[in-house]
Amino acid sequence: MNLVVKNIVILISGTGSNMQALVQAAQQRQWAQRYGARIAGVLSNRPDAAGLAWAQGQGLPTKVVDHKAYPSREAFDAALVDAIHAINGGTVPDWVVLAGFMRILTAGFVAHFEGRLVNIHPSLLPAFPGLHTHRRAIEAGCKFAGATVHRVTAELDHGEFLEQAVVPVLPDDTPETLAARVLTQEHLIYPRAVERLLASPA
């Protein structure tokens, strides 16, 4: 059966552990054979992102678009759009997956990739959009925390929820210990959410 190729471009800013989980799931769960899906490349807005070396080690194309080199968000996003097209052979990829990508994207960028953009956020949205989610959950006295995979819209950390995972907040938790517990779940739900998108009719 001839599968239509589905190209995925992943954006990271740091360690890229979610990117690694996606790449490994693509290999282990045979996304190419089952859905025609391929990871076209990995981009970062930070030249020192540790995930870049790992992706190169997997033979994946990588690119850096350093946000510090641009005078405005709009200028950076325009360069990012060009880089995403370039790493995908000059065309728009089917999916742009934000994996620990720590830049707020402009409405223009979101509109350009409308319906193709997904993100993972380390809280149980709609609670705690934005930064420092684990500290805020602990300070609020939450008994549970988690992560959310969602479609990206122009409104930060909004958009349709695709997957969520819940973890307990333990009495002696610090933001770091809670983040580690949540991250383990992120590595399970993000590949699951992306695979479901790949399996769904276009």
Q: Which residues bind ligand GRF (CB under 6 A)?
A: 12, 14-19, 99-100, 120-122, 147, 183, 186
What is the nearest approach in angstroms of ligand GRF to the Cβ of residue 71?
A: 25
Q: Are 109 and 80 in contact (CB under 8 A)?
A: yes
Q: How far apart are CA 167 and CA 146, in angstroms?
A: 5
Give which of 101, 104, 183, 168 is closest to 137, Cα–Cα.
168
Angle at 30 between CA 25 and CA 34, to 5 degrees: 125
Taking the least distance from each CB to ligand GRF, the nearer of 15 and 81 is 15
Taking the least distance from each CB to ligand GRF, the nearer of 19 and 152 is 19
What is the nearest approach in angstroms of ligand GRF to the Cβ of residue 83?
A: 19
Q: Are 43 and 37 in contact (CB under 8 A)?
A: no
What is the nearest approach in angstroms of ligand GRF to the Cβ of residue 21?
A: 8
Q: How far apart are CA 149 and CA 105, in angstroms?
A: 17
Beta strands in the chain (DSSP E): 6-12, 37-44, 62-64, 95-98, 117-121, 144-151, 161-168
Please compute, for residue 184, the number of CA atoms within 13 A of its CA located in the half-sphere on the CB side.
9
So which residues are the catalytic ones? 121
What is the nearest approach in angstroms of ligand GRF to the Cβ of residue 196?
A: 18
Query: CB nearest ligand GRF: which residue?
Result: 100
